[in-house]
Amino acid sequence: MAEVLLFHHAHGLTPGVLEFAGELRRAGHVVHAPDLYEGRVFDVFEEGVAYAQNVGFGVLAERGRAAADGLPASLVPAGFSLGVLPAQLLAQTRPGAGGALLFEACLPVSEFGDTWPEGLPVQIHGMADDPVFTGEGDLDAARALVRSAPDAELFLHPGDRHLFADSGLPSYDKEAAERLLGHTLAFLARLA
């Protein structure tokens, strides 16, 4: 059993994110899904991004760091898109992390330090033709991370959708979401 801290994407803590958390729980894992938006959920991606920009990415990252307070050091930080910001921050700066799951985003390792923590396993998922993941530098950052860390895996799913694993969004892709979940559960089982 792994303990996961799962951060939501720019839409907020949607029913689809909670459903994904439920899938991990049904597999026997402990999952925390904090609400970095303090109850706000946005139907339109751009409105959620605008809200995040208004609040400030640094504030959201600190809310993520605070959500980890009191949780075990071996925690597995995970995040969807915008949620990768606090997940990757915790993975790289909080000693003892058990692993990291970065869904549909990846920041350059240099954002939070010089190198990826030695021996820290990480899985990165994105769609091969997602204009956000591939067009905004995330894919390049993911490939660089995989080259620099022997315990890093990158899964490029076919398609061009962003937020494909949230069952409540129009961008949902059932087949790709099931593959992402399968790889995630295998990853968590190896950590347990």
How would you write the pLDDT of the chain (192 residues) with one tens digit per residue? 999 999 999 999 999 999 999 999 999 999 999 999 999 999 999 999 999 999 999 999 999 999 999 999 999 999 999 999 999 999 999 999 999 999 999 999 999 988 999 999 999 999 999 999 999 999 999 999 999 999 999 999 999 999 999 999 999 999 999 999 999 999 999 997
Is 16 in contact with 177 (CB distance < 8 Å)?
A: no
Q: What is the CATH number of the domain that holds 62?
A: 3.40.50.1820
- 4: closest CA among 15, 129, 13, 27? 27
Cβ-contact 105, 134 below 8 angstroms: no
For residue 119, give its domain range.
3-191
Residue 41 forms beta bridges with which residues?
12
When divided into structural domains, the chain yields a total of: 1
Order of strands, sheet of 76-80, starting from the edge strand that comes earlier in the sequence: 30-32, 3-7, 76-80, 100-103, 122-127, 152-157
| CA 80/CA 165 separation, integer angstroms | 9
Tell whether pTM > 0.85.
yes
- Residues constituting the chain: 192
